[in-house]
A and B are shown apart, each in its own frame.
Chain A
Amino acid sequence: MFETPKRYTATAIALHWMLGVAIVISFCVGLYMTGLTMSPTRLKLYNWHKWAGMTILFLSAARLLWRLTHTPPPMSSNTPAWQRTAAHAGHGLLYILFFAVPLAGWAYSSAAGFPIVLYGVLPLPDWVPKDRELAETLKSLHQWLAYGLAAVVVCHVLAAFKHQFIDRDHLLARMGIGRL
């Protein structure tokens, strides 16, 4: 008899938590660094932020591949239809933003004339030209997409907490925290 898994696979769980932590840290570093005046610290933070962003982008591609080739564990049977829809929409939006935020940041880097050299060794190609006006547009785009991602992440976390602490349906066990 085939039994639907109740948990995500170890790969999916590892990617979820790694990317979750990386996204939160990158967002906070992004907020902090943009308020700094020019200094070696600022230069380092910008580069680290870019490296983190590109890592998030590539790991998100791996994660999307996992998601497309696996069936996630089912939601609890008493989940109302609107919550199912909201969960699917929320996850879809998260995935879109996992790609959109770093891609906008990458393009902004190129437009600003500071191409990304991953970890200081691997030059990534520029796919937009160096252009002052375009850089300003992409900067705002990157910023607002990041705020958007932060907002969806907050909803995601609040929803998880609601399941865990109000409904007490052990939802977090699906993602490797606690028993089923």
Chain B
Amino acid sequence: MKRSLISVSVASVLLASSPLVLAQQKLELKQSEIVFVSKQMGVPVDGKFKKFDAQMNFDPKSPQTSKVSFTVDLASADIGNTDTERELTKPGWFDTSKFPQATFASNAIKSLGGGKFEVVGKLGIKGNARDVVVPITVTQAGGLSTARGEFVLKRLDFKIGDGEWNDPSLVANDVTVKFKIAVTGMNPL
């Protein structure tokens, strides 16, 4: 009885200090992906970003003190079609020479139970920032923690496809972003 009490208190001291001790999680790029799907005249066109980075200080046991942020190299979009990729870098779309990266930084994370979390944060693209709510599901296997989720952004909020392309009946305003972020070094769920 006494021994177990001691071990519990030792454990709680360790747990309490863990946010300081734990290094931030390391992104495993090869197992991660960020995909986006837009619709042109009803045609779903999907692409993915090949270069992005994540700064994750995510503790499933303490979501309120957790923080995650992302940077995505917009010029790394892979649509599978060179003409479209070149078009995307232009000022009307991503304007990658002026705004090379999209950013996301969490403001609040809360647990919804069962490995599900809700991440509220600021998404910045092309000098425009919008609050987004992103539901994620975390699964863990073999030391790898994977967060999956998707959300819908309004491209015109960020002036993506400005000017002659701003007609949402031609290119839909809704763009679905789906992601799978794999990291090592996360505390168990």
Chain A residues proximal to chain B, CB less than 8 Å: 38-40, 43-44, 47, 112-117, 120-121, 123, 130-132, 135
A117 touching B42, Cβ below 8 Å: yes
Residues in chain A near residue B84, CB distance under 8 A: 38
CA distance A113 to B165 in the complex (A): 20
The tally of CB-CB contacts under 8 A between chains A and B is 48
Residues in chain A near residue B41, CB distance under 8 A: 43-44, 47, 117, 120
- Chain A interface SS verdict (over half): loop
CA distance A91 to B170 in the complex (A): 39
Apart from A112-B81, A120-B42, list 18 A-B contacts with CB within 8 A.
Answer: A38-B84, A38-B87, A39-B164, A40-B164, A40-B165, A40-B167, A44-B41, A47-B43, A113-B45, A114-B40, A114-B45, A114-B81, A115-B43, A117-B43, A117-B44, A121-B42, A123-B42, A132-B80
Partner of B81, one of A44, A113, A117: A113
Residues in chain A near residue B81, CB distance under 8 A: 112-114, 132, 135
Partner of B170, one of A44, A114, A123, A130: A44
Chain B residues proximal to chain A, CB less than 8 Å: 40-47, 79-84, 87, 164-165, 167, 170-171
Centre residue among B43, B44, B87, B170 by max chain A CB count within 10 A = B43
Residues in chain B near residue A116, CB distance under 8 A: 43
CA distance A65 to B117 in the complex (A): 57
Residues in chain A near residue B167, CB distance under 8 A: 40
A43 touching B40, Cβ below 8 Å: yes
